[in-house]
Amino acid sequence: MSDRILVDAKNTFCPGPLMELISNMKMADVGAELELLSTDEGSAADIPEWVNKVGHEIIDSFKEDDVLHIVVKKIK
Amino acid sequence: MSDKINVMVTSENMEQMQMAAMIASVGAVSGNDVSVFLSMNALKYFLKGNDLKAPVEGDMGTKMLEKNVPPFLELFEQAVELGDAKIYPCSMAMDMLEIKSEDLFDYVGEPMGLTKFISDVNKGQVWSF
């Protein structure tokens, strides 16, 4: 998955991870996949909410060593 | 569904500014039509070149400063840049401070009077800090 855009938002708090995902998303091409790393539990729940509301797609979501990884595909 | 969200910010306290900035930024990037009205003691933070530190109201503010919380000015700017929020300085507060539009950060819009803000609020949500 070398073409995934990595967005490292570890150790920042709400709404830091969401804003970092969005600013990277703005620059990405449609169809691109972004992998967000977050340690903020609140944002972790908020991000799928935002992704669904705005109309993008959650590809994968998993936790590894206390870091949440959320993979989002830019749809439009 | 997108809503009209109006955020009135008048406090100079860090926690209030932070919460207002979070509502504005998250609201705007979620596709809502966000208008922020800056008046009273909140406006001074938007003066170019200022290095004012917002006083904390309580323990949460202290905690937020210790941890890596995005600063409220950064969130207001992102609300505009990423979510097309509009930020209006109150024309009365500008008269009081004797400042002009060009004295404020570029992402802050043209001054607005309270009459216009009230009429623009329409049936939208109003959040006050």
pLDDT at B1: 62
Q: Which entry of A4, A10, A14, A71 is annotated as an active-site residue?
A: A14
The continuous run of DSSP H or E covering B21 comes out as helix B14-29
Instruction: Indicate yes or no: pTM above 0.90.
Output: yes
Give tens-digit pLDDT for B108-124: 999 999 999 999 987 89
| Nearest chain B alpha carbon to A13 | B69
Asked if B29 lies within 8 A of A53 by C-beta distance, the reply is: no
Asked if A12 lies within 8 A of B82 by C-beta distance, the reply is: no
- On whether the CB atoms of residues B65 and B56 are closer than 8 A, the answer is yes
ipTM for the predicted complex: 0.85
- On whether the CB atoms of residues A72 and A59 are closer than 8 A, the answer is yes
Domains, chain A, with CATH or none = 5-73 (3.30.110.40)
Gap between the terminal Cα atoms of chain A:
21
- On whether the CB atoms of residues B112 and B104 are closer than 8 A, the answer is no
Residues of A whose CB is below 8 A from B70: 12-13, 15-16, 19
Distance from CA of residue A8 to its chain's centroid? 9
